[in-house]
Every structure is written in structure tokens, then in C-alpha cells.
Structure 1
Amino acid sequence: MTPERRPDRSESFGEALLGEVLDRAHELPPDLIAPLVTAVVARLGGRHPQVLLQDYGQLLLVPLTGERLTQGEPQVIDDSAAGRCFLDAVPVELLGADGVRIHLPLLDGGDQVGVMSVTLDGIDDDVRRLLLRISGLVADLLVTKHGYSDLFFGVRRREPMSVAAEIQWSLLPPLAMIMPRVAVAGILEPAYDVAGDSFDYALNGDILHVVMIDAMGHGLNAATLATVAIGAYRHARRLGIGLSASYAFMDRAVAQQFGPEHFVTAQMIQLDTTTGRMRWVNAGHPPPILVRDHRVVRRLVAPTTLPVGLGGPEPPVSGLRLEHGDRVLCFTDGLVEEHVRGGEEFGENQLIDHVNRLEATGRGIRAVTRSLSHTLKRARGGHTTDDATLLMVEWRG
């Protein structure tokens, strides 16, 4: 009788390396992520490790401080190898006099947390595979530890932040979500002084739920108004009620809290990620723009109702079936009502021109949204007197 062969359950080098991260992760204080990263990459022969986090303005990659992590100046995203890795979410390798410097994207659910960089004498496919898996675990650690520490906030801030902006950033979901059937990417300006603009989204089963709002006013009052509006939207969404009923729920919440002198423009979208069927409600908000085959094909002008808080009638629900690769761009009026040098209003035509130019590059939704916001800010003279927010949704089919 042939003895039964027992399965091999021994721990390989790669499993042991990843296990070292997993075994320590649940009790690891945020400030000890740095020495854990350095210890793990050192076992692969790696040196000069860096963890780079994007700043709130999405202009720089800033080194995380910590024991044995390599420091240095922040790196410009648009002009560095680490920045290319960050924008395109792919590893970038550079051969230098002291070995190979590899930059790896820190991805969490498609959101780009930052970049991990390390230098090795040489690199092969086994090392690449292990480094990618390590960077994935490091990204998860950064996201989970971020929830109960101010360490990463301090790294990402490059200038003082207003209280209103502090509130708005605490409301936001991740700025990007890249999934097989759908992608979302957003950006807020001015990053350190945003007040009344906000957005939210959730992927519940096959349905993507999205809202963009613009609360009247400026400063802390606008941030408070936006907080109530987003909170009411989330509550309605989690109750599973429809778009029209969600509008009514938000409308009552804002009116009861602030009275008839305050309002919030809003746009709510539901997208079936299996069929591409999109439904939306517009409450006094600029109409979204449809991008198809990397060009703007039309503005999605549809019937609207009064802004949230003004007691408008039941809003009509509009519908559209998207095609594979279509992108829908939502924005707040601060983006197009700003006056450029010389006093002329920026306007939607200039916005559309810039969208077409950037879409022609064929880059991913996250890179396009970020570049569009920064391009528009430069075109307005580098400043804005109102919040200017972008949110793009891509149906990937």
C-alpha cells in the first residue's frame, strides 16, 4: 500500500516575507510602518527605501519620515520617474551607477496612495513580483492606519489648511476608484481652502452611486451646509430609496437645519455597471459633459429642479445608455464662472477645449482629471475666487 503523500506546507521565502508584514500589521502603530518597510525590503537586498505620499494639491510626492527611510526633497509629479509611476499606476525602473531604482505604485482599490521606491543591485521577475505584493500591503497599511493618526496628514500638507477645508477633506471618499467595470476620479480646488464643494460615491453591487454638490456661500458656513447635504445623501442612499426620494430627503434636511435662505446645488447619478445605463437628477447644477472616443460629444442638458433646501418639485429622472469607454464629467460652477486675465468669464467652451486636448493623450481617468484641474487653474491665472471641483466617471464595460 502506497503511503499517502502529505501536501507541502512549508513556508517559502516569498511567503515568509509577506507573512512578516501580515503578522505585524494589525498591532502596528502608524509610526512603525517605516522600519517595517525598510526591514522587509532589506531582506530582498533593497536599500535607500522611500515611501512617497501625494500632497493635497496633487502636485508633489512627499517623503514619509521614519526610521531608516531615505529622506530628500519632495518630487514634482509631472517631472520625475516617481511621478510617472504615480500617474500611470505602473512600476518604473531606472538603471543607475549604484544599481536599479524601482518605483512601485501604492494602490488601494485603484486609489493611488503614493509610491514606494527602493534600489537593488539587480532585479528579476521574482523580485518584481514580491515587490509589487509588498507595495500592495504597504498601501493597505497606510490607508488603515490613516484612520487613527495625524502622521500622514502632516506629511501631505504643504501649506496651511482652513478649518472649512479640513471639514471637507474629512467628508471625502478616496479621490479615485478604479474597478474592472467602472472608474471614478475627482479633485478639489483650492485644495487648502475649499469650503462648499464636495462629492461622494459608493459602489453597491452593480450600481455606482455618485453625488456632486455646491453649497452656497464661503468658509465655515458653506462647509457646514455641505456636511449636512452629504450626510443626508448618504443616509438616503443607504436606505435604498430612489433618486427623486433622495432629493426630497436632502431637501428637507437642509431646509429644517438652515431655513429658506440657504441652498445646495446637487447632481445625483446612478450607473448600472453591467449595462451602462445611467440615470440622474439635476438640482440647479451645471449639466455634465459626455466624453466619447476621447472627445466631448455633448452637454447632458436635462430638466432640473430647484437646489436642495428650496422645496422644489419632484425632480425628473433623466436617462442615458453609455457606450464602452464613455466618460461623464461633472463640475461645479466655480470652474467655468471664474474670470480669466482681462476680465472675461472662463466659460464652458474653454473647458470643453481643454477636455478635448487632454483626452487626446489617451491617459487614464485619474491622470486626465488631475491634469484638467491643474491646466484650468493655470489658465485662470493660478488662482480661483470660488471652489472649482471636478468628478469624472468612466464606464469600462
Structure 2
Amino acid sequence: MSEGFGERLLGQLLDRAHEMPPQLLAPLVAEEVHRIGGRDVSILLQCYEQVELVPLPGRGLTVGEAVPIDGSRAGEAFLRLAAVEDEQDDGVRMYLPLLDGSDEVGVMALTLDTVEDDDRRLLRRLAGLVADMVVTKGAYTDQFFRTRRRQPMSLAAEIQWSLLPPMSMNNPQVSVAGILEPAYAVAGDSLDYALNDDILHLAIIDAMGHGLNASVLATVAVGAYRHARRADVGLAELYAFMDRAIDEQFGPDQFVTAQMMRLDVGTGHLQWVNAGHPAALLIRGDRVVRVLENPGTLPVGFGGAEPLISSMDLQQGDRLMFYTDGLVEEHRPGQEQFGEERMIDIIEQVGPTTQGVQHMARNLSHALKRERGGTTSDDATIFLVEWRGGTADHLAMLDL
């Protein structure tokens, strides 16, 4: 079977990827683009606050200023998860989202004299390969992490970010997306999820206290959650394992509030344990239709509590919003707390203006921060889940 020109280019990149050192990603991508007649190549990575796209430095790349996600063509591609073409005097400036699986890394920008369908197809595949390489090569270097930072990061936040899974995932059955504030000083908030066959597992936690101690407490809680989850136990056993781990390590004076969830992505059946955490919200048709205020369980770490498991069946298109108390407890000196009611009003304003849960999580977090006067004195985390149902089996079928 003969290879076309585009297939050969992508094949060369794949052939070299496994042994290529991270610093050669930039010149190799630039060379690939130049071979198809492109120029002025930039790789823009999302900053930790999800506010800007920051150019990655490297030989062969065009490095300018960071660009805002809101109001820029690069940001449009990032938010729409689709290529954007900008007609200019010297050609067509293309912006392609960098998707690692379905987690969005950033945007690749380049200029071509003209753009045809073959160019679009090749560049879409190249952007996917570049995103995968940024993620895999990022495990071997600090360069990509440094690029994404727009201000100094605390040690506690460094630990927390190293724990986190990809902050978004999207497939035909379910989408998830999260955001943590303050991005460079988060300490006790954390989350984790995994899609194992047809079951989406999720935990969101808020460790008591602030700073490094809260970060260490959260680290143990997330580690215990993963350990129990990977042993494929039910929610009751999972809670008991986390509870015992925190109690034995830190004693009864320190604890973690948490919610642990299991969602069957085929049927929409939801089970959850609320361990002293703010109740999740059910969003249907851009309206908050229910606060999931079922009987609660003691926070993780008090030792020996019997967990109460709640359940319900979702409708296709339903969204669940999990959050930590920093979102609603923020207040200015002498004033009342922000509160759940005001938060729900903003959710119902922001929801109709967004596309997908990643866009909604980001815009909602930023809108809530503005409404709180631009301050986040405590950790404030949002995690959204949208259930679509159906099956993804068609993605395993090859079109020949």
C-alpha cells in the first residue's frame, strides 16, 4: 500500500516521537509545517487559570505575547474545539485545537498561502499528534509546565496539580470538566475520576485547613481513593478505606469532606456518597432543577462511620455540578457570604451562553469570581459531568 505525501510526513513524526527529546518537539513540528508550505508556527498552551494561551518557546516556532482565550481567534478555536481560519493579506492564518484524547492542551497556529480540504485534514491530524506529544513529552521536562505558569505557584499548589487527572474528558456518552481556583495557590481541594468500562467514577474532596498541611491531607485522600477504586470495590467499601486511611494517618482531629460518585454511562444510573460536602446540583435544560440533598455521611477521617448511599436515574443531557464550599462562603469583611442562591442564579445565566461542559466550567468559575469581587481567599473548585447515554461502539469500527 503506497503512502501519500501527508501520510509520510505524519509517519516520520510518529517514527521519531518515541526517542525524540522534548526540546526537539518544536523544530520538528515547525519542519513538518514548512514541508506543506506553512510558516509562522506557534504552539499555544492553556495557562493554569484558563485565561490565556501562552506561546511555547522553541527553535523554529514563532513566539509572541500570550493571547486571551476570550476575544481572540486562537481562543475561539480553543473554546469551539474546532479549527478557525482567518483570511489575512499574506494568506490564511489557521488555529487548530490541540486535543490529547479529548482533553484540550492548547492551540497550534500557522499560516498557509491557501487552504484546501486535504490541508485541513492533514493539519487536523498533525494537531492531534502534536497534542499527544506535548502531554507525553511533558512527563520528561519542566518546559511545558513553566510555559503555562503566568505567576509563581505555591508548594501546596504544586503538589495538588501533580495529583490531578486531565481537567476535561469528552466522548459520545459522557463529558467532564473541572477548574480549580486560586490556580497558583490551591491547597486542600482536589478531584479525581476514571472511566472504567461503562462506569464513570468521580471524587471531589476538600481537605480541612490551608497551605501545605491541607495539601498533604488531600494527597493521602486522593491516593486512598485511587487505591480502593482500582481494587474495584463498591462505594461503601471505598468510603471505609478512605476513612480508615485518613484516621490512621492523621487522627480524628483532621478530616476531609468528599463526594464519591459512580455513574453508569450506558443507563444513566447514578450512585453517590456525600461525606460532609456541599450537595451537588442537577442542571437540566440550563436550569438547576434539584439540589441533591440526601442524607449525608460523616466526613472522611472521623473513623468508623457507616456511609449512606443515594441513587437516582439521570435523563439524557443532564448535567451535574460538584463544587467545594469556597465557591459560596467567600465574603467581604462585614458582608454576608456569597451563598448558594446567588450561585444558582449565575449558573442559569451562564449555562445558555456556553458550548459544552469545559466551556461552562471555565466561564462559570470566572463569572463567579467576578461576582465575588475578584477574590478567592479559600479554594473554590467546580467539576461538571454531562450524561448523554447511548454507546461509543461505532468509534471502534474502521472506515475502509
- What is the rounded CA distance, in whole Å, between the counterparts of 1:383 and 1:30 in structure 2? 37
Contact kept, 8 Å, 1:162 with 1:193, in 2: the verdict is yes
- Please tell me the residue identity of whatever aligns with 2:100: D
Shift of 1:298: 1.2
Contact kept, 8 Å, 1:60 with 1:75, in 2: the verdict is yes
Query: Does 1:386 pair with 2:378?
Result: yes
Shift of 1:362: 4.5
Contact kept, 8 Å, 2:298 with 2:305, in 1: the verdict is yes
Deviations 1:158-211 (A, max 9, x none): 100000000000000000001110111000000000000000000000000000
| SS at structure 1 position matched to 2:337 | coil
Shift of 1:29: 0.8
Query: Does 1:169 pair with 2:161?
Result: yes
Q: 2:353 aligns with which of 361, 364, 367?
A: 361
Contact kept, 8 Å, 1:109 with 1:179, in 2: the verdict is no
Contact kept, 8 Å, 1:294 with 1:362, in 2: the verdict is no
Shift of 1:89: 0.6
- What is the rounded CA distance, in whole Å, between the counterparts of 2:333 and 2:314 in structure 1? 37
Q: 2:46 aligns with which of 46, 54, 67?
A: 54
Q: 1:117 aligns with which of 109, 113, 117?
A: 109
Shift of 1:313: 2.3
Query: Does 1:83 pair with 2:75?
Result: yes
Shift of 1:360: 1.4
Alignment-derived partner of residue 305 in structure 1: 297
Contact kept, 8 Å, 1:232 with 1:253, in 2: the verdict is yes
- What is the rounded CA distance, in whole Å, between the counterparts of 1:254 and 1:340 in structure 2? 33
- What is the rounded CA distance, in whole Å, between the counterparts of 1:56 and 1:175 in structure 2? 10
- Please tell me the residue identity of whatever aligns with 1:365: V
Query: Does 1:377 pair with 2:369?
Result: yes
Contact kept, 8 Å, 1:276 with 1:395, in 2: the verdict is yes
Residues 275-294 of structure 1: matches in 2 within 5 Å?
A: 275-294=267-286
Alignment-derived partner of residue 20 in structure 2: 28
- Please tell me the residue identity of whatever aligns with 1:113: V
- What is the rounded CA distance, in whole Å, between the counterparts of 1:193 and 1:229 in structure 2? 19
RMSD (CA atoms) = 0.9
- Please tell me the residue identity of whatever aligns with 1:40: E
Q: 1:167/1:362 Cα in 2 relative to 1: closer, same or farther (>3 Å)?
A: closer
- How many pairs are equivalent? 389
| SS at structure 2 position matched to 1:320 | strand
Query: Does 1:221 pair with 2:213?
Result: yes
Alignment-derived partner of residue 247 in structure 1: 239
Alignment-derived partner of residue 310 in structure 2: 318
Q: 1:66 aligns with which of 58, 64, 68?
A: 58
Query: Does 1:339 pair with 2:354?
Result: no
| SS at structure 2 position matched to 1:304 | coil
Unmatched 5+ stretches in structure 1: 1-8
Structure 1 runs of 4+ aligned residues shifted over 2 Å read none
| SS at structure 2 position matched to 1:90 | coil
Shift of 1:294: 1.5
| SS at structure 2 position matched to 1:95 | strand
Deviations 1:95-153 (A, max 9, x none): 00110001000001210000000000000110000000000000000010111210101
| SS at structure 1 position matched to 2:259 | strand
- Please tell me the residue identity of whatever aligns with 2:215: A
- What is the rounded CA distance, in whole Å, between the counterparts of 2:205 and 2:354 in structure 1? 28
Query: Does 1:132 pair with 2:124?
Result: yes
What is the TM-score when the length of structure 2 is the normalising length? 0.96
- What is the rounded CA distance, in whole Å, between the counterparts of 2:16 and 2:332 in structure 1? 53
Contact kept, 8 Å, 2:44 with 2:55, in 1: the verdict is yes
